[in-house]
Structure 1
Amino acid sequence: MAHTPLRRPGALAAGACLALLTGCGGASSAQDAGQSSGGDLKVGVLFPGSLSDDGFMESAYRGYQRAAKQHTGKVAFSKVEQVQAADYEQALVRFATTSDLVISLGGQTDAAVRKVAARFPKVKFAEIGGPADARPTANLALYDPQQAQAAFLSGAAAALLSKKHTVGFVGGAELPAIVNAAKEFERGAEAADPEVKVLAPQYVGDFNDAAKSKQSALADYGAGADVLGQVLNLGHKGIAQAAAGRGGRLVGGPLAHDCAADTAYAGYVETDIGAEIEYATDQLVKGGWKAESVHFGLTFDTPHNDLVLCGTGDEVAAAKKKLDAIKAKLVSGEITTR
């Protein structure tokens, strides 16, 4: 199947080892990875999940790698991955004692990063993907990848491609940002098709548990849905398995793949989480870093949300046309998400 990318309208068409500077377990430094070998500035990044999760963390890690390559000799990067929630604070404290900038990924780290930032007022902190309505503090910047915006697009695509006019949503955990994404998925679906039925969202409790995700998907397919949206990491593979067995489909993301690789995918929502690591590092190097709230996505200077539809033919062409119109309204502010 062919990719049908949607371009922006207008001007732009967990128990890991915490020895952070060693290569043990899930913890490593950029030096270990053969990236930045040193620099006057130091950046530490907490990845709670796996760097190869085919989701939020891997998308972020790609930006980490780009930033380390771009700032070789200027910035020394270090990272830790697959950290249990009970160890977030400890990992962040270790970074704070050695870094100029500490970055945490995911809303699950929100309480820990706020607590540690308050303890280290001279260190800069940035949280990516925290609660959309949260406010920055004196030394904590908040970067919003606008998962809600991506979920709105996913819901619209699901509704337009559903033959049964019934869709559903599966989230990895019942965190504020994921609950909000489920609401925006429903709003997007209803914006595209006012008559669509949106099943109550399901929360697996683990972003990477494919077996539990498959059970949730089977329940939704059994309840009449034929296209599902999701905010999962490796767990989305379980939905694809369920879809293959029930003749359903899903909207993947945040990383897009070749549509021909798995026909269960109706399309992919793309969200470049790593662009926010690049942004934070660029601001640090330029001396312009601020404890600000920044919203990325379609409304940022360079959009970091997009949608890829799989397949060809009249159905996909019609869906693409309607989705382009919805994207234009998101860019203009006629449609807002939160």
Structure 2
Amino acid sequence: MAPSRTLPSPVAVAAAVAGLLLLTGCSGSSAADGADGGDTLEVGVLFPGSLSDDGFMESAYLGYQRAAEKHAGAVRFSKVEQVATADYEKALVRFATTSDLVISLGGQTDADVRNVAARFPKVKFAEIGGPADGKPGANLSVYDPQQAEAAFLSGAASALLSKTGTVGFIGGAELPAIVNAAKEYRKGAEAADPDVKVLTPQYVGDFNDVAKAKQSALAGFGAGADVLGQILNLGHKGVAQAAGQRDGALVGGPIARECGSDPAFAAYVETDVGAEIEYAVDHLVAGDWKAEAVHFGLTFAEPHNDIVLCGDPGPAVGEKLDELKRKITAGEITTR
């Protein structure tokens, strides 16, 4: 695997940036040393959340690891995780001073990555998971992992698996991409069952707050829902806890775990967020990277979304979901 560097905690990151300290790799050489040594490319990735969140950030990190292994010797990677909102810009600036390509994860970084990209026009930038209708900049690509499409599938599965005829959605924050995903969750549920009742979406305010997510889930189950969709990171653990207490269920994702490992999960939506990191780095290495808007998911050349059902809900459920996926792939259903 190519040398990989991990920056310190959020507090240390801020101090390092303020002090203009050098970023160093496992080999002990700085980014400048790597560039002087030949054609090694530098890629810096900002993970605002935890790399072990069992969600969006971990899915992206799996792609980071695959890219590092694939391009060993050609690319040197740096990363920082669990960065406070106030420090996004500092971390991005630090990467921009040492990297050929800077990647940021999550719509919460949108304003900062656009600001920093404009200040460093000779550096390439990529934002993954920003607004679905986000526009690329002169040196900024925007990659849409199609959370809306995944939410549509989650809504469809929720409706088909519900016994009460009522389902709901919980998002980590009221960001444009998450609000749009909530709308697609409703559309998916109603496409699968026109008679389903979809509760008003709830936004926890934090993708990783287990306690708050549990409160939101308990409210949803209390309002009659028996299956909940979600876009949370560590917070989904709170939804699972609530499901266990109220005999409910949730649709997991973006990483599909082994069915039965937690009985609270009725299904999983798979979204390979890390595929976008691989895509960006592949094109950087090939020399044909360009600032563009790319929508992944079922309509991409290599689909990165799917739905995994747990247990045996019966063939009708699987057949309906397959039908909806075919319609998305054919363009008969759009989810952006």
TM-score (norm 1): 0.90
Map of 1:10 onto structure 2:
none
Map of 1:115 onto structure 2:
115
Kept in 2, the 8 Å contact 1:152–1:186? The answer is: yes
Q: Offset at 1:164?
A: 0.5
Give 3-state SS (helix, strand or coil) of 1:68's partner. helix
Q: Offset at 1:17?
A: 2.5
Paired residue type of 2:193: D
Distance change (3 Å), C-alpha of 1:94 and 1:188: same
Q: Offset at 1:18?
A: 1.7
Give 3-state SS (helix, strand or coil) of 2:183's partner. helix
Q: Does 1:255 align with 2:255?
A: yes
Map of 1:333 onto structure 2:
331
Q: What's the CA shift string for 1:91-112, capped at 9, x where partnerless?
A: 0000000000000000000000
Q: Does 1:192 align with 2:187?
A: no
Q: Output the CA distance in 2 between the equivalents of 1:47 and 1:61.
A: 8
Q: Output the CA distance in 2 between the equivalents of 1:117 and 1:327.
A: 36
Map of 1:267 onto structure 2:
267
Q: What's the CA shift string for 1:149-182, capped at 9, x where partnerless?
A: 0000000000000001100000000000000000
Q: Output the CA distance in 2 between the equivalents of 1:20 and 1:145.
A: 33
Q: Output the CA distance in 2 between the equivalents of 1:29 and 1:82.
A: 19
Map of 1:236 onto structure 2:
236
Distance change (3 Å), C-alpha of 1:99 and 1:263: same
Q: Output the CA distance in 2 between the equivalents of 1:193 and 1:126.
A: 38
Matches within 5 A, 1:177-326: 177-312=177-312, 315-326=313-324
Give 3-state SS (helix, strand or coil) of 1:108's partner. helix
Kept in 2, the 8 Å contact 1:46–1:92? The answer is: yes
Distance change (3 Å), C-alpha of 1:330 and 1:48: same
TM-score (norm 2): 0.91
Matches within 5 A, 1:17-32: 17-18=12-13, 31=26
Matches within 5 A, 1:34-73: 40-73=40-73
Map of 2:175 onto structure 1:
175
Paired residue type of 1:336: T
Map of 1:9 onto structure 2:
none
Paired residue type of 2:154: S
Map of 1:95 onto structure 2:
95
Q: Output the CA distance in 2 between the equivalents of 1:289 and 1:268.
A: 33
Higher relative contact order (CA 8 A, sep 6+): 1
Give 3-state SS (helix, strand or coil) of 1:18's partner. helix
Q: Output the CA distance in 2 between the equivalents of 1:20 and 1:155.
A: 43
Q: Output the CA distance in 2 between the equivalents of 1:311 and 1:305.
A: 20
Q: Offset at 1:244?
A: 0.6
The number of residue pairs the alignment matches comes to 316
Runs of 5+ consecutive residues of structure 1 not aligned to the other structure: 1-13, 23-27
Give percent identity, aligned residues only: 74
Q: Offset at 1:268?
A: 0.2
Q: Offset at 1:31?
A: 3.4
Runs of 5+ consecutive residues of structure 2 not aligned to the other structure: 1-8, 18-22, 28-32
Map of 2:144 onto structure 1:
144
Q: Output the CA distance in 2 between the equivalents of 1:21 and 1:89.
A: 13
Q: Output the CA distance in 2 between the equivalents of 1:239 and 1:29.
A: 39
Give 3-state SS (helix, strand or coil) of 1:98's partner. coil
Q: Offset at 1:318?
A: 1.4
Kept in 1, the 8 Å contact 2:14–2:90? The answer is: no
Paired residue type of 2:158: A
Q: Output the CA distance in 1 between the equivalents of 2:314 and 2:295.
A: 30
Paired residue type of 2:315: A
Q: What is the RMSD of the two structures over their aligned residues, measured on CA atoms?
A: 2.0
Q: Offset at 1:20?
A: 10
- Runs of 4+ residues deviating >4 angstroms: 19-22
Q: Offset at 1:317?
A: 2.1
Distance change (3 Å), C-alpha of 1:221 and 1:282: same
Distance change (3 Å), C-alpha of 1:267 and 1:215: same
Q: What's the CA shift string for 1:191-225, capped at 9, x where partnerless?
A: 00000000000000110111111100000100000
Give 3-state SS (helix, strand or coil) of 1:103's partner. strand
Paired residue type of 1:175: L
